[in-house]
Amino acid sequence: MANIISDETIEYVGILAKLELSGEEKEAAKKSMGEMLDYIDKLNELDTSGVEPMSHVFPVQNVFREDEVTNGDESGRTLQNAPSEKDNMFVVPKTFD
């Protein structure tokens, strides 16, 4: 395997991805990410100099509209899906001391 994923890298990726991995999961993730990157490295066989990155197949532009409410007040129904709510607001765990 050409790509060796270090403990630090997998730790960092866990922070970016907001995932908490067990020791076993970390080892599996290191291995599978290394394999995937080895495979993705195949793209380096191609000379892409001068090729513009294509994010969308068709030209896309911002679609603007007036800032008007068209779907009514759905806060009550929306909050029904919330794991925790109070006084028409989402309840979250303590964010700072």
The residues of the shown chain that bind another protein, judged by CB under 8 A, are 9-10, 12-14, 16-21, 25, 29, 32-33, 35-37, 39-46, 48, 51-58, 60, 62-63, 65, 71, 74, 77-78, 80-84, 90, 92-95
Number of residues assigned to the chain:
97
Question: Please, which residues have CB within 8 angstroms of residue 29's CB and are 6 or more apart in sequence?
Answer: 5, 10, 13, 21
How far apart, in whole angstroms, are the C-alpha atoms of residue 11 and residue 6?
Answer: 9
Question: Does residue 10 contact residue 49 with C-beta atoms inside 8 Å?
Answer: no
To another protein, the closest distance from the beta carbon of 70 in angstroms equals 10
To another protein, the closest distance from the beta carbon of 61 in angstroms equals 8
To another protein, the closest distance from the beta carbon of 60 in angstroms equals 6
